Amino acid sequence: MSKIEALIDSAQAHAEMHAKLCSDLIQKSGLAAALEYCQKQGIEPPQCSLTADSNNARMLRETAARMLGETKWWKRRLGNKAGRDFEYRQIMEGRVTNIISDESLEYYLSKKRR
């Protein structure tokens, strides 16, 4: 298992915990607390307005709440963040000679859907 694969798997292993925490936060403190928690984790939260009063705004808030409580949503976001963080470290260490490090390229090509 490559370094990047191990880092991504490790990050994704926490997805269920984050989803449960967000669900609990939404129930106890509201959507704003869950969105703030998401940002503190370094993950871009779902976009929605907390103050607008329209059918579309309510729908976006419901969608955001649902997404924050889903393990699959967290798993995808945590995996992407771990991959970006790995690549950033590779750049800082001078290991990127092209656009992407060799290890990242190999990993993403192996995961590419056929």
pLDDT in the model for residue 1 = 79
Please say whether the beta carbons of 18 and 41 come within 8 A: yes
User: Rounded to two decimals, what is the model's pTM?
Assistant: 0.90
Q: Taking all residues of the chain, what is their mean pLDDT, rounded to a whole number? A: 94
Residue 103 CA to its chain's centroid (Å): 21
- Domain range spanning residue 73? 3-111
Mean pLDDT in residue range 13-42: 97
Please state the domain count of the chain: 1
Q: What whole-number percentage of the chain has pLDDT above 70?
A: 98
Which residue, among 74, 62, 63, has the nearest Cα to 21 in the 3D structure? 74
The whole-angstrom separation of Cα 112 and Cα 47 is 28
3-class secondary structure, 44: coil
